[in-house]
Amino acid sequence: MNKIDRIKELVEILNEASKAYYAEDVEIMSNFEYDKLYDELVSLETETGMILANSPTQNVGYEVVSELPKERHPAKMLSLDKTKEVDALVSWLGDKKGLLSWKMDGLTVVLTYEDGKLVKAVTRGNGEIGEVITANARTFVNIPGAISYKGKLTIRGEAIITYSDFEKINASIVDADAKYKNPRNLCSGSVRQLSSKVTAERSVRFYAFSMVEPEDKELLASFKDSFEKRFEYLTGLGFDVVEYKEVSADNLPEMVQWFSNKISSNDFPTDGLVLSFDDTAYGKSLGTTAKFPRDAIAFKWRDEEAETTLREIEWSPSRTGLINPVAIFDTVELEGTDVSRASLHNITYVKDMKLGIGDRIKVYKANMIIPQISQNLTGSGAFDIPVMCPACGGKTEIKNENGTETLNCINPDCPAKNIKLFSLFVSRNAMNIDGMSEATIERFIGAGILHKLSDIYHLAEHRDIIVNMEGFGEKSYNNLIKAVDSSRKADMAAFLYGLGIAGFGVANAKLVVKAYKSDFDAIMNATEEELTEIDQVGAVLAHDFVTYFSEDAKKEEVMRLLGEIEFVIEENTAEQDLEGMTFVITGSLETYPNRDALKKEIEDRGGKVAGSVSAKTTCLINNDINSNSSKNKKAKSLGIPIITEIDFRNRQFT
């Protein structure tokens, strides 16, 4: 491994350790190990002169601005001419050597370095004027904050968010309506934040795709008019560059296919390829047109089309109240996969396409991914707009905003608007039903087979519908039904939590079940006065709890659910020797498989587990008694004992 790659590896390892330590109170390496790797990183940064912007050696403060300043680019950044024909690429390249690279789908950013430091970052904007985002760029995951070259260097590249980071960010957002639509939009918004702290949380990455002609004649001469040598030089400075391949007219079709085959496994969004002349002097001599430079051309994959018959327009309710039309057509193969559905967006789109049941249509995959209708060969316009919501049976309403008609459900209690309740009920800490993702729940609601929670236990009645859903099949259906049936043996506290009572968490549910000795009838008829006598159950929570069970519709639904499940009551024979004690757990464990196991033992023995250290804490359990974690510091300041797992097992609480 070369020194630059080792620097990148060390930054990733150390940042992960810091995140675990400070944000999660988990120590994944000892202080000795951390210091050893940190010293190695400092040594390598000093030796190479390359320092990543997010290196732990850099104490970078965050910056908040009221607006992003505008700045004119020294030279207009032109868009590339495009083609969908491989033959056109071959003809364009002629007998020259070329470089074929990804055309990444993010936000173009221009970085300027002076005296080895990043001094400016500007977005492409409209090609003439961009926005200054220097503070934000300094938080990008992989750009060097310092480089060994001390002259002025300007680099163009694409800021992106990978699919895996995109999924992590969305997974951390509880509110489904607040989740982001795609990596490109998230990246664009992240790069242009007014607070660089927000940008830092988004894992933005930068991939260089070109270099502005350097003023340093000696440096320029070292490139020997080779675009590839510029890439190699940038790589040596510590930049990630777009993946590229050397091509000629002879192997160009083969290399286009090579890139095509990689799309499905890429972790980053792309919208095509870029072909550039390797000979930069030759490319420069060609000049530009009014719109395009002549030294590079973009390639877009020709969309594979198939003709089929429209069989149905399905109206799918969503959590926002929108009821979205979806085309169902005879299955065709596109880009190597079977396709039978395509979004129709809204009523206006359906009308403009003159779509009707039985029409012959042409379909394709936009960017080789998203099924779309490209053409209606019949144009009958024979379709009906539903007057009732498929999810709840309530009235629908057509809204017209800026000339676009959409269909909406106006029932505030429509189950499609309460997907979060279904999602909570099937979650791991509640009924733990695998295979019921939010996307699956939304599709089941849209298909009219989920109206209320108890319908989950009647999914087997809709086997034919589920098996024929896109992405499902016999195996997925069987696994889902097996998971549903497994949940019929239920933990009472988990069930109570899964009902979604306002403010009612897992810990509260366990306390209530324990206080009422697992008598669910007594729990449903609990009074506010009784509940407030339970430690950690306040007046507001007690009121919301009693209100929930006082509503006839909710109580009836609970009774239906009770008819589907059976509570498994585990008799607690453990000695109640921890009664009245409160523990906080932090750091890694050695003798227990996880924190939940230790937490369960404490609760079974009558104790409580809190998330933070306070004056009420009996002990802090941490195997690294001498660590400088925030919880250790707080415990020491309050005079609270810090004990190890072994101390806990031996009841050494002092």
Active site residues: 103
Counting every residue written for the chain, the total comes to 654
Residue 348 has a CB neighbour count (10 Å cut-off) of 14
Residue 79 DSSP symbol: P
d(CA 131, CA 71) in angstroms, rounded, equals 6
Looking at residue 320, its amino acid is T
- Residue 531 has a CB neighbour count (10 Å cut-off) of 23
The Cα 495–Cα 568 span in angstroms is: 11
Strand bridging mode 619-621 / 582-585 = parallel
Characterize the bridge pairing of strands 296-299 and 82-83. Answer: parallel
Q: How far apart are CA 467 and CA 445, in angstroms?
A: 15
Residues 6 or more apart whose Cβ sits within 8 Å of residue 325: 313, 314, 315, 316, 343, 344, 345, 346, 347, 349, 350, 407
With tokens 């039903």, the residue in question is: 433
Strand spans (E) along 335-383: 337-343, 360-366, 370-376
Q: In 3-state terms, what secondary structure has residue 375? A: strand
3-state SS class at 554: helix
Residues in Cβ contact with 169 at an 8 Å cutoff, skipping those fewer than 6 apart: 161, 180, 186, 202, 203
Please count the CA atoms within 13 angstroms of the CA of 373 that sit on its side-chain side: 31
Give the tokens for residue 359: 């029409």
Interatomic CA distance for residues 390 and 238, integer angstroms: 55
Rg for the chain, CA atoms, rounded: 30
Rounded CA gap, 598 and 612, in Å?
Answer: 16
* Sequential DSSP letters for 95-153: TS-EEEEEEE-SEEEEEEEETTEEEEEEE-TTSSEEEB-HHHHTT-SS-EEE-S--S-E
Tokens describing residue 517: 């000795």
Strands 296-299 and 270-277: antiparallel
- Number of H helices and E strands in the chain, helices first, is 25, 26
Two tokens at 274? 């870029």
Query: Which residue shows structure tokens 């498989």?
Result: 593
In which residue are the tokens 């030089």 written? 233
Angle ∠(51,56,61) on CA atoms, nearest 5:
95
Q: Which amino acid is at 653?
A: F
> Assign residue 278 a region: left if phi > 0, alpha if psi is -120 to 50, beta otherwise?
alpha
Q: What are phi and psi of 81, to 5 degrees?
A: -65, 155
Name the strand (E) or helix (H) holding 298.
Answer: strand 296-299
Spatial neighbors of 415 by CB under 8 A, at least 6 apart, are: 391, 392, 422, 445, 450, 451, 452
User: C-alpha 108: how far from its chain's center?
Assistant: 21
Are 7 and 44 spatial neighbours (Cβ–Cβ below 8 Å)? yes
